[in-house]
Amino acid sequence: MNDSGKLCLHSITTRPWSIEEAAGKYSAAGIRWISVWRDALEGRNPGSINRMLQDEGLGVASLVRGGFFASADRMKRVEAIEDNIRAMEEAAALKAPLLVLVCGADPTQSLEDSRDQIREGIAALLPMAGELGIKLGIEPLHPMYADTRSAISTLKQANDLVVLMESALVGVVVDVYHLWWDPDLEVEIRRCGELNKLFAFHICDWKVPTEDMLNDREIMGKGCIPVARIRQWVQEAGFQGPVEVEIFSKHYWSRDQDSYLKEIIEAYKHRS
């Protein structure tokens, strides 16, 4: 049985709850960690949210999400960098040590061009990231998102990219949903650990059948991903951080969030 001390919830997992309500509920359920989505901060002061979360006994694992660097339109690339700078400032105020990057892709250009722009975009953030002490986590996304969301589809690509970036601030976010199918996953998780680049670990499950490409994720143990096995690889690679539950699901969002939260905690303890 997993001790719940490392359980972290992404605010989007219980999307119907405001960040204040989520914090109260998570805390009451014995959860100690939260990753905050930027939409949950809307109209709020990130510094005040940090104090509210501290009062609830919640540490902030990461701010989610920056990125979307790739575009054939140069102005959009500049705007993306500006938006990522704002995200890093929010992360600093929120005392989130990590900004998760969904790197982006533009279907009107080649994946190679998108990858070049991703490298340039991350490089442009490094001076400010250093000043603010914010780490940047490249999250490879499932190949079904290679059209518009991420030209980085495998852990090998993310590892290769962080090696190329040569910055202590740039690492990788491993999410079982995106990577479970990859025959190289175990090897690349080990490599990521050896590089000391495994910055965060996200879990959920793959629903069978999946009916919506974006918002139909499953609770751990109810799909086909060997979550516990991948978690073991991640821990053997030296990762000791929080284990983050990130579920997008129209189905669960439409249900009672209290019983859903209980189900997540049970699944975390016994099937993760």
- Site residues (CB under 8 A) for a copy of itself? 107-108, 110-111, 142-144, 146-148, 153-154, 156-157, 180-183, 206, 208-210, 213, 223-224, 226
Answer whether 184's CB lies under 8 Å from 167's CB. Answer: no
| Furthest C-alpha separation in the chain | 50
Identify each DSSP E strand in the chain by its residue range: 7-10, 33-37, 59-67, 98-102, 135-138, 170-175, 198-203, 205-206, 217-218, 243-245
- When the beta carbons of 75 and 213 are compared against a copy of itself, the nearer one is 213
Q: Are strands 33-37 and 59-67 parallel, antiparallel or unpaired?
A: parallel
Distance between the two ends of the chain, CA-based, in angstroms?
Answer: 9
In the complex, minimum distance from the CB of residue 180 to a copy of itself, in angstroms, rounded to a whole number: 8
DSSP, collapsed to helix, strand or coil, labels residue 71 as: coil
In the complex, minimum distance from the CB of residue 84 to a copy of itself, in angstroms, rounded to a whole number: 23
- When the beta carbons of 37 and 177 are compared against a copy of itself, the nearer one is 177
- When the beta carbons of 129 and 203 are compared against a copy of itself, the nearer one is 203
In the complex, minimum distance from the CB of residue 197 to a copy of itself, in angstroms, rounded to a whole number: 18
DSSP, collapsed to helix, strand or coil, labels residue 210 as: coil
In the complex, minimum distance from the CB of residue 187 to a copy of itself, in angstroms, rounded to a whole number: 13
- When the beta carbons of 36 and 111 are compared against a copy of itself, the nearer one is 111
In the complex, minimum distance from the CB of residue 177 to a copy of itself, in angstroms, rounded to a whole number: 11
- When the beta carbons of 163 and 168 are compared against a copy of itself, the nearer one is 163
Nearest Cα neighbor of 74 from 119, 121, 111 is 121
Dihedral sign for Cα 111, 114, 120, 126, please: negative
In the complex, minimum distance from the CB of residue 247 to a copy of itself, in angstroms, rounded to a whole number: 17
- When the beta carbons of 135 and 142 are compared against a copy of itself, the nearer one is 142
> For residue 193, how many other CB atoms are within 10 A of its CB?
19
Q: Are strands 217-218 and 205-206 parallel, antiparallel or unpaired?
A: antiparallel
Dihedral sign for Cα 169, 38, 121, 103, please: positive
- When the beta carbons of 6 and 217 are compared against a copy of itself, the nearer one is 217
In the complex, minimum distance from the CB of residue 212 to a copy of itself, in angstroms, rounded to a whole number: 9
